[in-house]
């Protein structure tokens, strides 16, 4: 049987997508070869590339003055690509840090490429509750851009509104909550996301960049990180990760088939509410994120008695729940409720949590 996969990344994928990929793995479009074996310049893959961009543009309602670029840099590669493309020598940028990944992006910029202004925007109150403080998100005069991680996978924190940065372009890492809710792309200068949370197997990053921000890369920016070079070559400057790109297209098709991003947003709200409501009703589990800052897709929680952590994970595995161990930076537990996680999976998890509490309280 398949496990209930709550892993934070790579993600669980829709079963029908996995089954279709399995059927086509050895013979794609009657070619007698798999999609991972065919040329990225073949008509068959050209249809995948163009079709996937068209579907993503439709799903997210991406304005015409934005480029959609398919890259292999990984999320950390884009931590470097952002300042290399947007910050001139001697420039500066604002980093609104709310957790682990925005802090990693800040360090990448500040230690290697220029002045990154650190804004600590997720303080703890006296009782240890963490919340996003939007009042701290003030841009610095002369900033080339302001950077946020819209959903902090490690910390279980998510923005519930888009900060107003005026004329300073807002750059958002949406790796873990892309396509989980409707967003107004026009409010951002750029959106970057690794596909391994909600879209496809790891290996692909997608950048959605406003056209006027393209073409300003530093001279020494590697060509595969230069958004202008990659967009001019339709993301085919080098051989792309064809399998991940193909899987992304299948997932975009699946999202279309179930009613689009609006339906996923409805489902994700329902799933997270069920789990948070249970945790809040229990004295055995706790979550220390303020309700208005909680992630809908990465639910972090701790056991009251953390000496039971190992037993909790052992019993979870025995009942076919995987991926519940929290990130090493934060510890505790984490249940990732990405788009492909069903409401049935969340209900099954709650049943396990209830049973474990009864047995060990």
Catalytic residues, by residue number, are: 101, 173, 197
Rounded to 10 degrees, the C-alpha dihedral 342/347/348/349 comes to: 100
Rounded CA-CA distance 76/26 in Å is 32
Among 2, 14, 17, 3, which residue's Cα sits nearest to residue 324?
A: 3
Evaluate the omega torsion of the peptide bond into residue 163 and state whether it is cis, within 30 degrees of 0: no
Strands (DSSP E) along the chain, which ranges? 4-5, 66-71, 92-97, 115-120, 146-149, 151-152, 157-158, 170-173, 190-194, 205-210, 285-286, 298-303, 321-322, 333-336
Residue located via tokens 């047995």: 359
Burial of 88 (0-12, 13-18, 19+ CB in 10 A): exposed
The span from the CA of 348 to the CA of 209, in Å, is 40
Which residues are bridge partners to 151 per DSSP?
158
Longest dimension (CA), the chain: 64
């Amino acid at each position: 049987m398949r496990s209930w996969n709550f892993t934070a990344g790579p993600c669980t994928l829709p079963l029908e997508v996995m089954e279709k990929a399995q059927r086509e793995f050895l013979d794609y479009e009657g070619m007698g070869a798999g999609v991972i074996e065919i040329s990225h310049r073949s008509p068959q893959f050209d249809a995948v590339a163009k079709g996937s961009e068209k579907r993503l543009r439709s799903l997210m309602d991406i304005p015409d003055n934005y480029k959609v670029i398919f890259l292999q840099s990984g999320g950390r590669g884009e931590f470097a690509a952002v300042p290399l493309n947007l910050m001139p020598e001697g420039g500066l940028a604002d980093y609104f840090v709310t957790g682990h990944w925005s802090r990693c992006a800040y360090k990448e910029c500040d230690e290697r490429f220029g002045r990154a202004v650190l804004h600590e925007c997720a303080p703890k109150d006296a009782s240890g509750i963490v919340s996003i403080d939007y009042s701290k998100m003030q841009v610095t005069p002369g900033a080339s851009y302001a950077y946020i991680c819209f959903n902090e996978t490690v910390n279980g924190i998510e923005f519930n509104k888009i900060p107003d940065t005026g004329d300073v372009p807002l750059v958002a890492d949406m790796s873990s909550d892309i396509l989980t809710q409707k967003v107004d792309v026009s409010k951002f200068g750029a959106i970057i996301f690794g596909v391994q949370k909600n879209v496809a197997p790891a290996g692909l990053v997608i950048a959605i960049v406003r056209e006027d921000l393209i073409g300003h890369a530093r001279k020494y920016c590697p060509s595969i990180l230069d958004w202008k070079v990659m967009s001019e070559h339709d993301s085919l400057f080098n051989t792309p990760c064809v399998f991940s790109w193909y899987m992304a297209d299948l997932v975009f098709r699946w999202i279309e088939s179930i009613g689009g991003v609006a339906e996923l947003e409805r489902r994700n709200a329902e799933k997270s509410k069920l789990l948070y409501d249970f945790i809040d009703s229990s004295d055995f589990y706790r979550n220390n994120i303020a309700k208005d800052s909680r992630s809908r897709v990465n639910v972090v929680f701790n056991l009251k008695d953390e000496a039971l952590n190992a037993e909790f994970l052992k019993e979870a595995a025995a009942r076919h729940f995987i991926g519940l161990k929290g990130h090493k930076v934060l510890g505790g537990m984490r249940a990732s409720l990405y788009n492909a996680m069903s409401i049935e999976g969340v209900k099954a998890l709650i049943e396990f949590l209830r049973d474990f509490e009864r047995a060990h309280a």
